[in-house]
Amino acid sequence: MERKIKLIFIFFFLNYMIFPVNLIMRATQNELVSITVVSPCGRADEGISGLLSVLFLYQREKWRKSLWNSGGRVEAKINEDSSYFRVIALKNYWNVATNVTESLIFDSQINPISLETAKKILVMSLPRPTLEDFGPFLFYPMSEYGHPFPVIADIMKINSSHLRALKNKCFSPSRVRVIVEGGFVPSVVKNIYMKKIADYPPPPRLVEPPDRPPIGVGFLPDDEYHVIWFFKLIEEREILPIKYLIHSLAMNSEGLLYTMFSGKIRVNSGIKYGRNVSFGWIDLKVNDPKDLREVFFVSRRVIYGKLRTGIEEEEYNRARKYELGREKYYKSLPWPIFRREWKAIRMREKKMSIEQMNNVLKNFPLRSTSVLITGRENNIKEILDRVSSIGVFDSLGRFMYELSSE
Amino acid sequence: MRRIFLFFVLVPILLSLETFSLKNGMKLILVQRDIPAVFMATYYRAGSFFDPPGQEGLAYLSSRLSFVSRRKTRPWEQIFFLKRVGGEINVEVNQDFSVFFSYFPKEEFPLALWYEMERMKPPLVSRERFERTKAQLSQELFEQMTGNPWLAIYSEILRGVYGETPYSHPPWGYPGNIKRISGESFLRFYSSYYQPGMATMIIIGNLTEADRSLIIKMFSPLKGKNVFIPERVDFPARDFSGNISVKGFEKPGFVLSYRISNPGCRERVILEMLKSYLERRLIENMERYSPEEKIKIVTSHFIYSSLFSVMYKGKDFMKIKRLIEDEITKLRVSSIKGENLYGLQRDFIRRIREAEQNPEKWREELGILSLVYRCSEADVLSRTLSINTNSFRELVRSNLTPFNRATLYLKPWKEK
């Protein structure tokens, strides 16, 4: 028994020595290999809108032939202040995955032809922004954090020097964290380790979010009628209570808002809710523009009231059961990001009782909540008599002007 | 060498799959995976093909109404139960089949299975609820049709490609026709098509022997019947071209669609390969075109037919159309290069491997390609490896011809 403990201890010690913090590995009996490069750079660090997307597409274009011959695939995601780039390949072609990720980190030469193609591909597949993406624009208007969705004119401006600067800033070896997963061969790790990706401490956030009052009520001209409540999550301990609060308010069949607006919001997908790293949201889709005013004011009263009183024990238990179920679902999916996130949340949850949660909710600042309303301009005017001003946005997330009751 | 490879790849997959059928005609496929959640999909061999003329959308409405009350459950109780435990259920209706896809934690397996079993029994729906659901559905459809121009274009393509056949309307029907559906035709549809005799259930998860016997114990008493399914005839060939102008498209463009009737596993695999091949070729040739234009290639597979469509909007749309047709002609005459084909094969194998790991993708990739009645996963893998340049050319020669084609020109929309 003692020998076993010793062996485990030595194993962990060696593991730490060979693979320090920034290199995370998990061997599975999988036919695939995935290598993920995580960076603390997001939209806030881009400078020019769409620059990070161009970099990722450029990387894919540069290695297109070898990816194409090996059947490999690239996927990437960009947040406000973080992003990841992942290569997935068949186990036999693991060297393609290492080559692509290595060249992202170490190779500073830019191939102009691949760059032009990457720009064109991005323009051809410009993502359609969803309403949930408007959170940063409400809380950080006119700042780096709330900088608008990619525009064609911006993307066409990008040249190789921009790309090189971004690489040095965000994907230098000291900035990245590498996750290797799948049925890989030890030499994959050796290959990366030899070039010393992992000799640095975990990377910090590059741009701090600005601390300024948000736009309390935003408006987006649209054909559909929505009222979307946003909760800004700054501290880590806020994540779980806000998640439980959203659950108790918006859950189908049992949520407070769901039962309250049963005739007024759409039957199918009338209420949506979710959370990402920095925001939680509740999206109410209203049937009739006449009900927009009522839905807005009543939901405001309910949400502010709930923040004051906190959640009840029954709601807590219900949300907890739901969370456990979701956790199992995400654990069934193959890639590592979800697992790590869920592990962290479980750790927090073990420490958090319902009293602690309610404490956090009671101290949750009202300036960390904001609302976006979509509809026609004449519908919004009814709301103006009880709200001092409404900020108007365009579909790219740019702040246009302010409507006031005067 | 290839045989040895096939042996090592296929044997483990075949061992983890178990297929059997019950006395009432229900087919079951159990897949062993070491995961904490259970993924369950019930496929019915019935879709919008069976909609009577004038009542298009019957299958879609039935799928919506399948969650109303039974003798022991309240309306929408199954959905609420799954939501409560952190799971979810989704419904998809196609021309040829309908899927009820759900996932939930392993502990809830017996109860979730019981709800699914209850759902398979005949529904108890009041006249008032029936009328209300119809009204809601047609309103939702109307909103979607006006908000999303692709829906209008898709239904126009179907009309163009399939002519006067049951495939010619979209699976969700038309808002006006949904209002016309009678209660009798709904009950008739449900009792004859959404019943265990027409169902195939796939369960993926960490299943024990007790779970297996529970599944058999629960679903065996259900009454199922054999329903005569008419043979899908090979539709008359036609070369269709038409115009459409919809709100949301301010630029001219085109949609080019080819219909492939009665495709087997191999044809489906080749079509998927063809899609990624054309995408790559177009990107290579893209430098000639201005970047504001968009190209989209879509393959959709039903049981008895598949659709291969290219959509484009921009100034030089005729040039692009010619380019695509040239590319297809080249494939028809001299076929694809060997090295490109190997790349495509590896790409496809990677996709299957990914789907195998991720049960949600399983539904997207294998659910349609392989698990629906025709071919198993092992079949797909072996067929992928056995494809050569000749078989590629054969498919393109026999199916991507002008006689199976529909061209839709998009006219720029002008506000009146």
Per-residue 3-state assignment (H helix, E strand, C coil) for A77-127 = EECCCCEEEEEEEEHHHHHHHHHHHHHHHHCCCCCHHHHHHHHHHHHHCCC
Residue for token pair 């959404």: B194
Domains of chain B as residue ranges with CATH: 12-219 (3.30.830.10), 240-410 (3.30.830.10)
Q: Which of A32, A90, A321 sits opposite B85 (nearest CB)?
A: A321
B170 or A271, greater pLDDT: B170
B140 or B220, greater pLDDT: B220
Q: How far is A327 from chain B (nearest CA, A)?
A: 8
| Three-state DSSP class for residue B245 | coil
Q: How far is A45 from chain B (nearest CA, A)?
A: 25
Q: Which amino acid is at B157?
A: I
Residue A394 has pLDDT above 50, yes or no: yes
Question: What is the predicted pLDDT for the residue at A111?
Answer: 92
Cβ–Cβ of B346/A71 closer than 8 Å? yes
In this complex, is the C-beta atom of B281 within 8 Å of any C-beta atom belonging to chain A?
no
Residues 102-141 of chain B with CB under 8 A from chain A are 103-106, 108, 136, 140
pLDDT band at B7 (very low <50, low <70, confident <90, very high): very low
Q: Which residue in A has a C-alpha nearest to residue B276's C-alpha?
A: A68
Q: Which of A121, A123, A331 sits opposite B292 (nearest CB)?
A: A123
Average pLDDT over residues A318-335: 83
Residue B292 has pLDDT above 80, yes or no: no
In this complex, is the C-beta atom of B354 within 8 Å of any C-beta atom belonging to chain A?
yes
Residue A388 has pLDDT above 50, yes or no: yes
Q: Which amino acid is at A256?
A: L
Q: How many residues are recorded in chain B?
A: 416
| Three-state DSSP class for residue B306 | strand
Cβ–Cβ of A31/B353 closer than 8 Å? yes
Residue A18 has pLDDT above 70, yes or no: no
Q: Which of A64, A268, A332 sits opposite B359 (nearest CB)?
A: A332
Residue A337 has pLDDT above 60, yes or no: no
Q: Which helix (H) or strand (E) holds A17?
A: helix A2-18
Dump strand ranges (E) for A246-387: 271-275, 279-286, 369-375
CB-CB contact of B172 with B142 (8 Å): no
Top-confidence range, B106-110, B157-161, B326-330, B380-384: B106-110
pLDDT band at A13 (very low <50, low <70, confident <90, very high): very low
Of A312, A329, A324, which Cα lies nearest the Cα of A254? A312
Half-sphere exposure of A383 (CA within 13 A, CB side): 30
Cβ–Cβ of B346/A69 closer than 8 Å? yes
| Three-state DSSP class for residue B200 | strand
Question: What is the predicted pLDDT for the residue at A14?
Answer: 45
Give the Cα separation of B112 and B101 in Å (integer): 12
Residue B13 has pLDDT above 70, yes or no: no
Q: Which amino acid is at B272?
A: E
| Three-state DSSP class for residue B202 | strand
pLDDT band at A268 (very low <50, low <70, confident <90, very high): low
SS3 readout for B370-410? HHCCCCCHHHHHHHHHHCCHHHHHHHHHHHCCHHHEEEEEE
Question: What is the predicted pLDDT for the residue at A15?
Answer: 42
A162-192 tens-digit pLDDT: 999 999 888 888 788 888 888 777 677 776 6
Q: How far is A122 from chain B (nearest CA, A)?
A: 9
Q: How far is B234 from chain A (nearest CA, A)?
A: 35
Question: What is the predicted pLDDT for the residue at B145?
Answer: 80
Q: How far is B105 from chain A (nearest CA, A)?
A: 5
Q: Which residues pair with A402 in a beta bridge?
A: A391
pLDDT band at B120 (very low <50, low <70, confident <90, very high): very high
Cβ–Cβ of B349/A69 closer than 8 Å? no
Q: Which residues of A touch B292 (CB under 8 A)?
A: 123, 152
A43-54 tens-digit pLDDT: 888 888 889 999
Residues 361-400 of chain B with CB under 8 A from chain A are none
B208 or A211, greater pLDDT: B208
Q: Which of A64, A68, A324 sits opposite B86 (nearest CB)?
A: A324
Q: Which residues of A touch B147 (CB under 8 A)?
A: 223-224
Q: What is the DSSP string of A187-233?
A: HHHHHHHHTTSSSSPPPPPSSPPP-----SEEEEE-SSEEEEEEEE-
Q: Which residue in B has a C-alpha nearest to residue A29's C-alpha?
A: B357
Give the Cα separation of A35 and A58 in Å (integer): 17
B282 or A315, greater pLDDT: A315
∠ CA B245-B247-B248 to the nearest 5 degrees? Answer: 110
Cβ–Cβ of B357/A334 closer than 8 Å? yes
A278, two tokens: 């920095």
Q: Which amino acid is at B357?
A: Q
Q: Which of B86, B147, B343 sits opposite A328 (nearest CB)?
A: B86
A79 or B393, greater pLDDT: B393
Residue B214 has pLDDT above 90, yes or no: yes
B306-317 tens-digit pLDDT: 889 988 887 778
Residue B262 has pLDDT above 70, yes or no: yes
Q: Which DSSP state fits B50?
A: G
Q: Which residues of A touch B360 (CB under 8 A)?
A: 333
Sheet holding A83-90, edge to edge: A23-27, A177-182, A32-39, A83-90, A73-78
Residues 314-373 of chain A with CB under 8 A from chain B are 318, 321-329, 331-334
Of A81, A136, A394, A121, which Cα lies nearest the Cα of A279? A136
Q: Which residue in B has a C-alpha nearest to residue A118's C-alpha?
A: B283
In this complex, is the C-beta atom of A90 within 8 Å of any C-beta atom belonging to chain B?
yes
How are beta strands A225-232 and A279-286 bridged, if at all?
A: antiparallel
A207-231 tens-digit pLDDT: 777 777 788 889 998 888 999 999 9
| Exposed / middle / buried, residue A227 (Cβ in 10 Å: 0-12, 13-18, 19+) | buried
pLDDT band at B10 (very low <50, low <70, confident <90, very high): very low
pLDDT band at A258 (very low <50, low <70, confident <90, very high): confident
Q: Which of A85-89, B119-123, B399-403 has the lowest mean pLDDT?
A: B399-403
A300-309 tens-digit pLDDT: 999 999 999 9
C-alpha A120: how far from chain center? 25
In this complex, is the C-beta atom of A259 within 8 Å of any C-beta atom belonging to chain B?
no
Top-confidence range, A169-178, A229-238, B203-212, B237-246: B203-212
Q: Which of A131-140, A239-248, B357-366, B376-385 has the lowest mean pLDDT?
A: B357-366
SS3 readout for A113-135? HHHHHHHHHHHHCCCCCCHHHHH
A27 or A87, greater pLDDT: A87
| Three-state DSSP class for residue A177 | strand
Domains of chain A as residue ranges with CATH: 2-194 (3.30.830.10), 217-404 (3.30.830.10)
Q: Which residue in B has a C-alpha nearest to residue A114's C-alpha?
A: B284
Average pLDDT over residues B329-346: 88
- ipTM of this predicted structure: 0.78
pLDDT band at B339 (very low <50, low <70, confident <90, very high): confident
Question: What is the predicted pLDDT for the residue at A20?
Answer: 47
In this complex, is the C-beta atom of B292 within 8 Å of any C-beta atom belonging to chain A?
yes
Rounded percentage of chain A residues whose pLDDT exceeds 70:
84
Q: Which residues pair with B241 in a beta bridge?
A: B407
